[in-house]
Amino acid sequence: MSTDVIAAETGMLIRRPVAAVFEALIDPDVTTKFWFTQSSGMLEAGTRVRWQWEMYAHTADVDVDVVEENERIVMRWPAYEGDAQTTVEWMFTARPDNTTFVTVTNTGFTGDQTAIARQAIGATEGFTLVLSGMKAWLEREIELNLIRDRFPERIRH
């Protein structure tokens, strides 16, 4: 089975202009409202940033490969199992009504069929929560705490 064809994919319409939606992902001052709690910097092509989820005492090093303003971001981050990285591509599609459709595709899962399926399902769930939180923040300035509340038994106080 080829891991290249296994992808986690989700998408969401966000009722904000593409520039605002794109900025929300590259600027950690905004992204912390709906995803991670700290970042070492903005997403810029050719850089590595460290994201932190303080409530879970978890960090991830993110390698940013591509940043095409208001259109696309490609990054690599730690795989769900092992030492490999998976690739995450964010596509931002501006719509005529001044809204944005965001698509997230995660590829590069490794392991046997069961492990790959588990990773793809988990990634789809996770990115759906991220996009839902992004939508709530950008459209209504509501912090839903979706990522924080997903695993309450793992929260470190």
d(CA 56, CA 19) in angstroms, rounded, equals 31
The whole-number pLDDT of residue 157 equals: 65
Tens digits of per-residue pLDDT, 43-85?
Answer: 999 999 999 999 999 999 999 999 999 999 999 999 876 678 9
- Decide if 136 is inside a domain: yes
The whole-number pLDDT of residue 116 equals: 93
- Decide if 139 is inside a domain: yes
Could you tell me the two tokens for 75?
């990054």
Query: Is pLDDT above 50 for 2?
Result: no
C-alpha pair distances (Å), 147 with each of 37, 56, 61, 77, 136: 10, 10, 18, 17, 13
- Decide if 138 is inside a domain: yes
Q: What is the pTM of this model?
A: 0.93
In sequence order, the β-bridge partners of residue 102 are 12, 92
* CATH at 136: 3.30.530.20
- Give the count of domains, the chain: 1
Please tell me which residue, 42 or 155, carries the higher pLDDT value.
42
Which residues of 26-71 form beta strands (DSSP E)? 38-39, 48-53, 58-68
- Decide if 34 is inside a domain: no
The whole-number pLDDT of residue 9 equals: 97
Domain around 16:
3-22+66-152
